[in-house]
Amino acid sequence: MAQNRTPNGHKPGKPLKRAFFARSVHEAAPELIGATLLVNGIGGVIVEVEAYHHTDPAAHSFRGPTPRNMVMFGPPGYAYVYRSYGIHWCVNFVCELEDSASAVLIRAIEPAFGLAEMQARRGVENQRLLCSGPGKLCQALGISIAHNALALDAPPFEILARSEAPDVVSGTRIGLTKGVELPWRYGLRGSKFLSKPFAK
DNA sequence: CTCTTGATCTTCT
DNA sequence: GAAGATCAAGAGC
């Protein structure tokens, strides 16, 4: 049955509760591939994420709390939004337990709901370029510092579980100079909406 | 297609 | 003063 599927064949399930995030980032991150992220009803299917653990030198929380990263040190199930290179916003889902300071960076989504609104916000028509990067998807979904520390299971956020297990691939993370060898990037195999292809 | 550069916030040295 | 979980535009091939 094709009903209830997105244009590219995904079938969103029930809303994720905050408890989904209360476990290892390395369990939660790959399970977020195929889930649907909406902000005020606009968004699409998560196709690429990266896991950051507080023991990882690449994580913002590695050197302890700062005004920017304090949400990572709070309870799981909340959004951590930060300014990247002075220009862009990037959004993370805080995981594990309070004070563990671990989170999943959302790197790319497949546009599915509110296409015209996302195209208008981005000034871009091409669906492959709409949300294929952490800064791009925040612009398309209207995510900013105003969303920092908001709960992920309450408006304006809505995260719908995947209803079918997708084919998830992993690889090394993008744009880092520390922890470059750690295989904590996860993606939907073969997706055309990734920020970069996975190595074969 | 690949390479280079500018934008300019937060944190660290 | 420099680097960073980025992106877009322009030059060159």
| Ranges of each domain in chain A | 12-188
Is strand C within 7 Å of residue A96 (CB)? no
Residues A136, A29: Cα–Cα separation, whole Å: 20
Is strand C within 7 Å of residue A175 (CB)? yes
pLDDT at A2: 46
Residue A46 (CA) to nucleotide B3 (C1'), in angstroms, measures 30
pLDDT at A96: 97
Pairing assessment for the beta strands A36-39 and A157-162 based on DSSP bridges: antiparallel
Residue closest to B8, CA→C1'?
Answer: A86
Averaged pLDDT, A65-83:
98
Q: How confident is the model at residue A27 (pLDDT cuts 50, 70, 90)?
A: very high
Q: How confident is the model at residue A3 (pLDDT cuts 50, 70, 90)?
A: low
pTM of the model: 0.97
Pairing assessment for the beta strands A168-171 and A12-15 based on DSSP bridges: unpaired
3-class SS at A26? helix
Residues A36, A114: Cα–Cα separation, whole Å: 13
Q: Round to the nearest angstrom and report the end-to-end CA distance of chain A.
A: 33
Give the nearest nucleotide to A173, CA to C1': C5
Please, are residues A49 and A107 in contact by the beta-carbon 8 Å criterion?
yes
- CB within 7 A of strand B (chain A, 70-89): 82-83, 85-87
Instruction: Give phi and psi for A149, each to the nearest 5.
Output: 75, 10
pLDDT at A172: 96
Averaged pLDDT, A73-88:
98
3-class SS at A27? helix
Q: How far is CA A199 from the centre of its chain?
A: 20
Please, are residues A111 and A104 in contact by the beta-carbon 8 Å criterion?
no
Please, are residues A169 and A178 in contact by the beta-carbon 8 Å criterion?
no
Give the nearest nucleotide to A133, CA to C1': C6
Residues A136, A131: Cα–Cα separation, whole Å: 5
- The fold adopted by the segment(s) A12-188 is 3-methyladenine DNA Glycosylase; Chain A (3.10.300)
Averaged pLDDT, A163-178:
96
